[in-house]
Amino acid sequence: MDKIFLLSFDLEEFNLPLEYDVNISREEQFKFSFLGLKKILDLLDEHKIKSTFFTTASFASKYPRTIKKISENHEIASHGLHHDIKGYNEQETMKSKEIIENIINKKINGFRCPKLQKPNFNSLNRIGFKYDSSICPTYLPGRYNNYFEKREITKKQGIIQVPISVMPIIHFPIYWIFFRNFGLNYSKAITNSCMKNLGFTNIFFHPWEFNDISEFKIPFYIKKNSGDKALKMLKEYIVWCKKNSYKFLTFTDYLKELENL
């Protein structure tokens, strides 16, 4: 059976500096992410692979032509109405789905809550989503404690849950900040483990990571290996995945393969 690689990106306004009392205008937030997005799209085109883009409705509304163009080759899913939320909100989530679907002129199936907060699965089901990828089964101090959540794809309250990949037993994560801080050997080891144990790997990044963020007074571990270094690391990682015959699919295509969608 194929080993599936689910590569995704959270398209959002770059409001992270505000968490550290660093001022950045709304326009700069959008522009910074958009510049990184162009680099990502070039990389995906170069390697002829598909990805899933979880976009906030605010980002999609800012760049509707770009989002519609992306939807022609990749999957578009919802990342909420905007990235400033304090918790899951059904009305805002419903509105995000409507706005994005109107922009790309097609239905969307997936949702990922900003900052990986836990959504209400009954609510997602009512709104019409098919799957969610908000849960990372690990403990991250100050953010969430999902250590005892399942690593496997499951279905809860009518929603297919596609967890973000972590290592077995100790549940070390692999997504963006860990990828850049712990390096390629660490990421490759977890990827191999997930492929062997689960048959898939689910990892995500943000467009703004692929820009130079050294000017911002934010923690070093957020800035480490960003910009061109991050792009080079991701390119090398993609090449390695292809050499290992890992198959890149969108979330919807994979779930259809599993006959879950």
pLDDT digits (tens, 9 = 90+) for 156-197: 999 999 999 999 999 999 999 999 999 999 999 999 999 999
The domain 4-257 having CATH identifier 3.40.50.280: the answer here is no
Whether the Cβ atoms of residue 78 and residue 110 lie closer than 8 Å to each other: yes
Residue bearing tokens 């898939």: 200
Reported as half-sphere exposure (CB side, CA atoms, 13 A), residue 23 has a value of 0
- Residues sharing a CB contact under 8 Å with residue 124, sequence separation 6 or more, in sequence order: 93, 111, 132, 159
Query: For residue 259, is pLDDT > 90?
Result: no
Q: Are 194 and 200 in contact (CB under 8 A)?
A: yes
Q: What is the pLDDT of residues 209-257, one digit of tens each?
A: 999 999 899 999 999 999 999 999 999 999 999 999 999 999 999 999 9
pLDDT value, residue 261: 65
Residue range 56-88, pLDDT digits in tens: 999 999 999 999 999 999 999 999 999 887 788
Could you give the CA distance from residue 131 to residue 111 in angstroms, rounded to a whole number?
A: 7
Backbone torsions φ then ψ of 34, nearest 5 degrees:
-65, -40
Q: pLDDT band at residue 134, thresholds of 50, 70 and 90?
A: very high
Each domain of the chain, given as residue ranges in start order, spans 4-257
Calpha distance 172→213 (Å, rounded): 25
pLDDT at 142 (0 to 100): 80
Q: How far is CA 7 from the centre of its chain?
A: 7
Mean pLDDT value across the chain: 95
Question: Model confidence over 80-126: pLDDT tens digits?
Answer: 999 887 788 999 999 999 999 999 999 999 999 999 999 999 999 99
The burial of 196, by beta-carbon neighbours within 10 Å (0-12 exposed, 13-18 middle, 19 or more buried), is given as exposed
Q: What is the pLDDT of residue 181?
A: 97
